Chains A and B, each alone.
Chain A
Amino acid sequence: MEVLTTLTIVILLYSLYLLYKSYKLKCSTNCYLVDYVCFKPSPDRQITTRKCGEIIERNKNLGLAEYKFLLKVIVNSGIGERTYGPRNIIEGREESPTLDDAIEEMDEFLNVCVHDLFVKTKISPRDVDVLVVNISTFCPAPSLASRIVHQYNMREDVKTYNLSSMGCSATLVAIDVVQNIFKSGKKSLAVVITSESISPNWYSGNDKSMMLGNCLFRCGGSAMLLTNDPAMQARAKMRLKCLVRTHIGANDDAFNSAVQKEDDMGRVGVHLSKDLPKAAMRAFTENLKRLLPKILPYRQIALIVFHVVKQKLVQPDAKLNKVVAQINFKSGVDHFCLHTGGTAVIDAVRRALRLSEYDVEPARMTLHRWGNTSASSIWYVLGYMEAKKRLKKKERVLMISFGSGFKCNSCLWEVIRDLGDGDVWEDCIKDYPPKTLVNPYLDKYGWVNEETEETFNREERSESFKNSPW
């Protein structure tokens, strides 16, 4: 009798222990953002409007038509005077970039940013379990992930992943990789590094669709530390609530909207087609369809369902525009981190989600201060919000980014505690928002709009640039 009781009790206790273990495993599936650091290149790498002019002037393949086009792009870009470029372009070597130029640009970023992350979070590189690097347009062998392992002397069993050519939305792909690894339950620390390589990717031809990249992309990067350890929750900044990825590459127009290829003269550049905005909106709509049920409060969802059903019963053939107009996108989200692809992108998203200027101010200011730093831009936008002390406990931040393919990725974070760390915005946050965002290029290069093919004389104009007072 006693034997049976003992046996039952033992088995029961062991079962309870198994249940407890399963429960602990479930608790370790959250993804916390412990901290992040954005990259601020050295001041000698700043590209002012004047510098932009000089660089463009150097390209002997450009004529008046191209100058006019570039003027229009730069004036409308929303990019300011203090963005950063790579050394080889500033020093006049953009037409013949070497492997060393690209590696030097990456080293400058990795040496500063990754080091700062470890110092800020007081984590040793040997404690890192997962390392995901995404740098789209440059992948040497050994990979940049291996470069970091080497530089920081990481452990042998570190899981490294080097993502490449996934465009400006790749940072959320990296977070997706980390999130999936975290769900296995084992307590881990993950470092995600995001940047873009500008040096080897200067387009030296005169195909207009390929010159946009030259005007818009700037140097930047960020490093993030994530964990699923509940013990680090107190010092973490945000918790990941959901992540939605959409890929409309099945549509040929969307797939061909941003393609890296050779022009007629054999020069490599990224061709951005006229279908790009349409592809972006399509991808965005697809993404919202899956994202909204996850982020909107139940009341909103119920209201939308009610309106849809009502419309279908009353006017079965009518479009759902009126219903879409009823959706309050801001009911489930407090802050919006939009990818700073350009003013057009920010305006398009603002219109689609019916956001106010206040909501898109962080994105606009990031575009002005840092330019389009590709995948890392959303972290600069987040940094702006933090520096302005906008992020309070329990508030929700939505990150939206677009990338070639065509992809639209979004994720929702919940703020764990009131945040106020200025990071790279510390020295200039008081100057933002500035009184005007108008580009001074408009005044300095306004002459282009008055010239015609007959009156345009390249050498004469070139001389007058050199002698001009600014």
Chain B
Amino acid sequence: MPTQPLPDFSSSVRLKYVKLGYQYLVNHFLTLLLIPMIATCVLELVRRGPEELISMYNSLELDVIHILCSSFVIIFILTVYFMSRPRPVYLVDYACFKPSASCRVPFATFMEHTSMICEDPKSVQFQTRILERSGLGEETCLPPANHYIPPNPTMEAARAEAQLVIFSAIDDLIKKTGLQPKHIDLLVVNCSLFSPTPSLSAMIVNKYKLRSNIKSFNLSGMGCSAGLLSIDLARDLLQVHPGSNALVISTEIITPNFYKGNRRDMLLPNCLFRMGAAAILLSNRRRDATRAKYRLLHVVRTHKGADDRAYRCVYQEEDSDGHCGISLSKDLMAIAGDALKSNITTIGPLVLPMSEQLLFFFTLVGRRLINPNLRPYIPDFKQAFEHFCIHAGGRAVIDELQKSLQLSAEHVEASRMTLHRFGNTSSSSLWYELNYIESKGRMKRGDRVWQIGFGSGFKCNSAVWKCLRTVKTPVDGPWAECIHRYPVDIPEIVKL
């Protein structure tokens, strides 16, 4: 894929910051007014000295009724205030699907199958070149139906894959958290390219015998960023249902989506997409606060669909022979960068420390008033986050984001290693990356994680989590048996 330079973080960003500042000032006007008043009062009190204060208190002649009434009023106000605040959303735990070794697709297998299925030798050559530069390893997995020559994408096989990946992930989650299926209140499932009737959410209700008053939602067609969309929906639901928990399933079913034609822009998904699933348990119960791993701080969603190029950049269509596939346009990197820029301008003020925001603001002012040639300041997101989980969409995506956010190799290691070990598992890749960081023993209490997902539409979604307790190794999960071998050095080109 051609590498295009990402656009500058300047012109449209400045207006947004000014607007945000103005909004903040006006929205919190009364609160901000309170600060000088309280300051004056405190100073006055300090000036008066303790003896004078005690004599003042005695002169008030407060009796029991007065004290009781005022305490009651204060407690009432405080209760109303705390109850109107948004409920915290905790991530109790999560589990990722670990594919068995029998599903592995080493390079040799992939190339052999491709050369037997593909009639056009040029397509075979193209896919070889893509695989060489993809950053994938030898242990990525495809579902059983894709191991047939040619692949056998029946509905039954697709359902079998869905049952395998989803049920394994949920079983692991139940073992880890002691979750009782009857206690699940909300269920959100996202799977982009496979939506049978009844839905995958109904399939889960049936398998685990969930309650009849469960609120289930099945999202589809929303691309690789749909995992964070589901988290957003679960968060909104948890605000309305007190004392509840939500099970979120993120997956992508590969079986029905094998592309049989020869168009190059549609052959890429065949090379990159692999089997995976994640099951996440969210809760807003206070008692889960002690055992939860993370707390959700922010979710920011950006939709660039209004722009033609962005809308068409990941597009499902039929080629001239009638084969259905997903075409990835050459503009993908540029559009991803643009979407990220928009997302950052919203998330920046929420997460960046005051120092970075002030620096950005002053550089902006400086450029406008003093010297237009001053270099625009790109906020240092490493100050706001300790860990980064960038969707493992492909090597180029990770490279570009590393460059634009000025991240070190260690920051993007989780993304690169996930791409190497599991391939592009679509919406669940962010959870495999988080599991990598935990397995390496790097997740400490108080650390903040930034998950960034990109997807068709074109969407860029971010979630910010805060770690509530240090995660001890060894961590049970898909990385358990191989974490000691990582990180590996991934060459630019693997000669096949």
Contacts and interface: CB of A to CB of B under 8 A. Distances in A.
A144 B229 CA distance: 15
A184 to B, nearest CB: 6
A150 interface: yes
A164 B30 contact: no
B222 interface: yes
A305 interface: no
A245 B210 CA distance: 13
A119 interface: no
A335 B114 CA distance: 61
B191 to A, nearest CB: 9
B303 A146 contact: yes
Contact of A247 (B77, B214, B303, B311): B214
Contacts of B156: 261-262
Interface in B213-241: 213-223, 229, 232-233, 236-237, 239-240
A290 interface: yes
B316 to A, nearest CB: 4
Given A14-B34, A247-B214, A260 B308 contact: no
B149 interface: no
Given A18-B81, A99-B316, A1 B56 contact: yes
B195 interface: yes
Interface string B50-83: 0000001001000000000000010001001101
A70 interface: no
Interface in B241-257: none
B457 A247 contact: no
B205 A156 contact: no
Contact of B199 (A100, A156, A166): A166
B37 interface: yes
B303 A142 contact: no
Q: Say what secondary structure dominates the interface of chain B.
A: mixed
A21 B192 CA distance: 40
A161 B229 contact: yes
Contacts of B216: 247
B154 A262 contact: yes
Interface stretch (A228-236, A248-256, A411-419, A435-443): A248-256
User: How many residues of B sit at the interface, in one of the four size bands?
Assistant: 35 or more
A432 to B, nearest CB: 32
A249 B30 contact: no
A6 interface: yes
B37 A156 contact: no
B217 A173 contact: yes
A18 B80 contact: yes
A167 B198 CA distance: 7
Which of A155, A183, A184, A249 counts the most chain B CB atoms within 10 A? Answer: A249
B41 A6 contact: yes
Interface stretch (B17-25, B120-128, B317-325, B359-367): B317-325
Nearest to B216: A247
Contacts of B239: 180, 183-184
Interface string B267-307: 00000000000000000000000000000000001111110
A226 B84 CA distance: 24
B457 A250 contact: no
Contact of B233 (A139, A154, A161, A245): A161
A290 B199 contact: no
Nearest to B460: A156
Contacts of B222: 143, 145-146, 160-162
Contacts of A163: 217-220
A55 interface: no
Which of A137, A142, A246 counts the most chain B CB atoms within 10 A? Answer: A142
Contact of A165 (B197, B308, B315): B197
Interface in B310-354: 311, 314-318, 322, 324, 326, 342, 346
A123 interface: no
Contacts of A252: 206
B457 A142 contact: yes
B149 to A, nearest CB: 18
Given A142-B456, A286-B212, A165 B199 contact: yes
A139 B305 contact: no
Interface of B: 30, 34, 37-38, 41, 44-45, 48, 56, 59, 73, 77, 80-81, 83-84, 86, 154-156, 192-193, 195-203, 205-206, 209-223, 229, 232-233, 236-237, 239-240, 301-306, 308, 311, 314-318, 322, 324, 326, 342, 346, 456-459
Interface of A: 1, 3-4, 6-7, 10, 14-15, 17-19, 21-22, 25, 98-100, 136-137, 139-147, 149-150, 153-167, 173, 176-177, 180-181, 183-184, 245-250, 252, 255, 258-262, 266, 268, 270, 286, 290, 404-407
Given A165-B220, A255-B205, A407-B202, 5 more contacts: A10-B38, A17-B30, A18-B77, A146-B459, A163-B220
- Please list the 3 inter-chain residue pairs (A to B) with the smallest Cβ-Cβ separation, ordered nearest first: A143-B221, A164-B220, A249-B205
14 contacts: A15-B73, A141-B193, A141-B314, A142-B316, A149-B457, A150-B306, A163-B217, A166-B201, A247-B213, A250-B210, A260-B155, A261-B155, A262-B156, A404-B198
